Amino acid sequence: MTHHAVRLIRRLQLGGASVLFAIALASPAAASREIDSFTLRMENDAPAGTDSRYTAGTEFAFAYAPWSKANDNARYHNTLSLGQLIFTPENLDEIDIVLHDRPYAGWSYLRYGQHRSHDDSIQSWQLTLGLVGPSSFAEDIQRAVHELIDDRMPLGWHNQLSDEFGYALERSRSKVRFRWQLGDERSLQLSESSRISIGNIDSSLSQGFQIRVGKRLQGSHAPDRLGAPAAYVDSAKAYTQTPTQFRPQRFYWVLGGKMSYVAQNLFLDGNANGQSHSVTRNPWVQEVESGFAYSKPGFKVSFLLVYRSEEFREQTGGQIFGSLSLTFRR
């Protein structure tokens, strides 16, 4: 059997195991509830005119219809997500390992989440399992996209991190702390958020804030970013009999930031066997984000421009990337 055939079989075996994991998580409890919304999230550094470091992220998230418990005014819902992250060094033309830059790496994952929300807060548990290395198909995806848009091909993917199983268990919370009414259905909200993650992919602590100012603010105040709970959207079914001019439309501007202490990042630290390329991880990383969101019954769109400080000591300057989120609800 050829080397390529063995590699393909290995990928299929690992991929099949991930699919079985998704089926196991989705049933039987989740299967008893219908899918209520679908969210597509895409992050890319193209808005900054670059094509390196954290170069692309894509996530498809399905949220099941929310429900309530007796004697509890909170809402509960589960989510199931499929995503992929792609990382490359800055010099895509170098064939050999770029010693002072991050390694090529890709991660394809499945994420299961359980969420509990009130009008002013949301709490989540999320478990993420996936594959790092050639079995993530990150190289294949990036090459296909570059070929489609007639862009230069990265030449160093043969140096990427090797196959490794990746996992992360996280707990996150977001809560509105202050509200100011500005009149004409406009208001300003200040919320704070925290997150803890444990795993070989990511072990970190984060604390952040978000300011939203706009019209008819309501629902989730968690950032509409990869890994966040499904964004709040008014149900389209609830307004089928309502004239268009009376259906709620919401628009707001966003400004936020967070500080993270990073104890483990596989994409910087390299494979657990110690035989891959790695860089010196910075323990403290900051982010600032700004953008907007618009929603109407059944649909929401948001866009954020994110600045992330240096993630490793060899890195010169931070990184800017865009984050687009589209949510559709029945």
Predicted local distance difference test score (pLDDT) of residue 75? 85
Find the farthest-apart pair of alpha carbons in the chain and give their distance in angstroms, rounded: 72
Per-residue pLDDT of 112-126, as tens digits, reads 999 998 878 899 999
Range with lowest mean pLDDT among 5-19, 118-132, 293-307: 5-19
Mean pLDDT of 50-79: 88
Rounded Cα distance, 52 and 102, in Å: 10
Q: Which residues face 286 on adjacent strands?
A: 259
Rounded Cα distance, 92 and 76, in Å: 45
Predicted local distance difference test score (pLDDT) of residue 217? 82
The mean pLDDT value of the chain amounts to: 87
Residue 130 CA, chain-centre distance (Å), reads 14
Torsion over CA of 8, 126, 299 and 75, rounded to 10 degrees? 150
Dihedral pair phi/psi, residue 308, rounded to 5°: -120, 130
Q: Is residue 282 a contact partner of residue 310, using CB atoms and an 8 Å limit?
A: yes
Q: Print burial letters for 82-115: b (CB count within 10 Å at least 16), e (below 16).
A: bbbbbbbbbebeeeeebeebbbbbbbbbbbbbeb
Q: Which residues face 160 on adjacent strands?
A: none
Rounded Cα distance, 213 and 116, in Å: 24
Predicted local distance difference test score (pLDDT) of residue 28? 44
**pTM summary value:** 0.88
- What DSSP element (H or E) covers 79? strand 75-88
Per-residue pLDDT of 2-16, as tens digits, reads 444 434 444 444 444
Rounded Cα distance, 116 and 136, in Å: 31
Domains of the chain, start order: 3-329 (2.40.128.140)
Mean pLDDT of 138-144: 95
Predicted local distance difference test score (pLDDT) of residue 173? 93
Burial of 267 (0-12, 13-18, 19+ CB in 10 A): buried
Is 27's pLDDT higher than 60?
no
